[in-house]
């Protein structure tokens, strides 16, 4: 393949004079190294002052290749009520794709490494499902598929992985209809097929967690997605039992409570159903795909008074969510408590709550606080920057998740600019999950040769055994500085258009699905 021309002159050519430009079709890109462009599955790396060079790259040893930083940088993409995407129901397929493509591309530009994509906002689906109807937030009518047809989850996965981002599929396990939803429920919606397990509460429709059929429905839906889609994580948000209305109305589960014949009181009985769901979901996920991470983003306060100064909603006694138990039992691969408060207030202090959650994590699962980035304006953007800095200083906390992606893509209050210039100026990989897989992959086998035109160096690589590989880290050393890109695991070739500022060293590292790195395969210039 080294002698085969990968890219034709009709597709790519260079304009000289000052900074070179890369032109693909009718699009022009400035060639700031290490710029990366994709064409037909091939990555093209460009450099300044492009001229042909007659060099040979061979395997070398003894070169110290810098490892990428490890930090989780996520953002939620909410689809319920069209919060993040699509911008409104009923957009054309082309417009939906463009919006989603732009969101994910922007996430990559901001050097995030994960998007958490809401695929089941209310017992509906933003993917092709045999179990639940198409979401009304896509077409404006529940049960109506996009036309021309496409699968939004497949599309989002392809875009995320193409940009080197993980994608976690986000489910609401019990909400059956959002408050203010328009139109009628589809005939295959659970409110129509199993009305006895669906309750009305404060304008919402809600699955009764105590009903075995409700639990079975949510497990069936989530595991179906797990089996059919190449997701990197399964994510559950903070809605278990609903948040109380202004009158503190009791959840209407009298029918299921009356059937109970055990010794638990009603609150413990409700918590039992949520605990069992989390435990069983964790177990089933890892039986099907052991490498997929399971995470929950609970309300940021477990109970008022824990720690002593904290005040606010009691998630343990109101939402019936005992996230402390889930951490202590190891039923989570990551916990993302929604610490949606500022640093200073004593009653809900970000660092105080972060420390408390760390203390509840004896099995040292990932702890990635959720940040209320959407509150920038009225909050100053520096508040979020300071929170990220506090997270980094805490040895037991290894990343953040931003609510929500739109706040970043809109550069609300200049937050994206600040992150790009500071905290997120360099790439980072998500932390490894050694309890899922601690065995690193073997180093890849790599080679680099000029194509016949002497205008491109074709770099190719392959795995040396059947590891479940997620990423490749492609690095080049140019004028003593290393530059890196995260490539999806299916990538096997890159083309480098080089000149006087071309690399002297190329390194390729395999990253498996557990986040473990191989030793790099290193090619040096002869």
State residue 279's pLDDT score.
98
User: By C-alpha distance, which of 278, 369, 279, 295 is closest to 333?
Assistant: 295
Please give, one letter per residue, the 3-state secondary structure of 332-352: CCEECCECCCCCCCHHHCHHH
Q: What pLDDT is recorded for position 193?
A: 98
Whether residue 453 is predicted with pLDDT greater than 90 in this model: the reply is no
pLDDT of residue 17: 24
Q: Are the C-beta atoms of 426 and 69 separated by less than 8 Å? A: yes
Q: Which two tokens stand for residue 150?
A: 């496409």
CA separation for the pair 484, 474 (Å, rounded): 6
User: 46-67+436-453+460-525 domain in CATH 1.10.150?
Assistant: no
Q: What is the mean pLDDT of the chain?
A: 90
- Asked if residue 387 lies in contact with residue 376, where contact means CB atoms within 8 angstroms, the answer is no
Topology (CATH level 3) of domain 69-81+165-426: TIM Barrel (3.20.20)
- Domain ranges in the chain are 46-67+436-453+460-525, 69-81+165-426
Give residue 158's pLDDT band: very low, low, confident or very high (50, 70, 90). very high
User: Residue 36's pLDDT is what?
Assistant: 44
User: Three-class SS string for 405-465?
Assistant: HHHHHCCHHHHHHHHHHCCCCCCEECCCCCCCCCCCCCCCEEEEEECCCCCCEEEEEECCC
When pLDDT is averaged across residues 197-215 and rounded to a whole number, the result is 97
Question: pTM of the prediction?
Answer: 0.91
Q: How confident is the model at residue 455 (pLDDT cuts 50, 70, 90)?
A: confident
Give CA 241 to chain center in angstroms. 25
């Amino acid at each position: 393949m080294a002698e085969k021309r990968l890219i034709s002159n009709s597709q790519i050519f260079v304009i000289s004079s000052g900074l070179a430009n890369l032109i693909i079709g009718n699009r022009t890109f400035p060639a700031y190294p290490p710029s990366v462009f994709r064409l037909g599955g091939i990555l093209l790396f460009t450099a300044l002052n492009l001229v042909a060079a007659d060099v040979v790259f061979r395997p070398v040893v003894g070169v110290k290749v810098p490892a990428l930083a490890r930090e989780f940088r996520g953002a939620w993409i909410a689809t319920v009520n069209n919060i993040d995407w699509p911008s409104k129901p009923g957009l054309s397929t082309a417009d939906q794709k463009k919006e989603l493509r732009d969101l994910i591309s922007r996430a990559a530009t901001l050097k995030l490494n994960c998007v958490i994509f809401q695929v089941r906002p209310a017992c509906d689906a933003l993917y092709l499902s045999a179990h639940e109807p198409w979401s009304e937030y896509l077409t404006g009518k529940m049960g109506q598929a996009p036309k021309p047809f496409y699968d939004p989850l497949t599309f989002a996965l392809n875009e995320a992985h193409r940009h080197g981002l993980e994608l976690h599929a986000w489910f609401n396990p019990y909400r059956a209809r959002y408050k203010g939803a328009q139109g009628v429920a589809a005939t295959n919606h659970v409110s129509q097929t199993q009305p006895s397990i669906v309750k009305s509460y404060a304008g919402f429709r809600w699955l009764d967690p105590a009903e075995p059929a409700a639990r079975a429905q949510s497990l069936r839906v989530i595991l179906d997605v797990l089996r059919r889609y190449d997701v990197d994580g399964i994510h559950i948000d903070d809605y278990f039992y609903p948040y109380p209305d202004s009158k503190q109305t009791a959840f209407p589960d009298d029918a299921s409570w009356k059937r109970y014949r055990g010794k638990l009181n009603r609150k413990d009985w409700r918590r039992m159903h949520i605990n069992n769901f989390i435990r069983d979901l964790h177990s089933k996920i890892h039986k099907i795909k052991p490498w997929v991470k399971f995470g929950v983003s609970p309300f940021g306060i477990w109970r008022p008074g824990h720690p002593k100064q904290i005040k606010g909603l009691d998630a343990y006694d109101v939402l019936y969510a005992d996230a402390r138990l889930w951490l202590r039992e190891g039923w989570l691969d990551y916990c993302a408590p929604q610490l949606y408060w500022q640093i200073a207030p004593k009653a809900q202090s970000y660092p105080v709550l972060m420390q408390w959650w760390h203390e509840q994590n004896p099995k040292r699962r990932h702890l990635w606080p959720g940040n209320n980035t959407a509150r920038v304006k009225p909050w100053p953007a520096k508040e979020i920057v300071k929170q990220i800095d506090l997270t980094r200083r805490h040895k037991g906390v290894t990343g953040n998740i931003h609510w929500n992606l739109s706040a970043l893509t809109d550069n609300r209050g200049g937050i994206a600019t600040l992150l790009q210039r500071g905290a997120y100026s360099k790439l980072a990989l998500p932390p490894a999950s050694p309890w899922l897989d601690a065995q690193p992959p073997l180093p890849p086998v790599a080679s680099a040769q000029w194509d016949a035109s002497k205008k491109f160096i074709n770099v190719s690589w392959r795995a040396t055994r059947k590891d479940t590989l997620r990423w490749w880290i492609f690095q080049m050393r140019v004028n003593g500085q290393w530059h890196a890109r995260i490539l999806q695991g299916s990538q096997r070739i890159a083309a480098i258009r080089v000149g006087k500022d071309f690399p002297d060293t190329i390194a390729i590292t395999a990253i498996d699905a557990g986040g473990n790195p191989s030793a790099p395969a290193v090619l040096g210039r002869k």
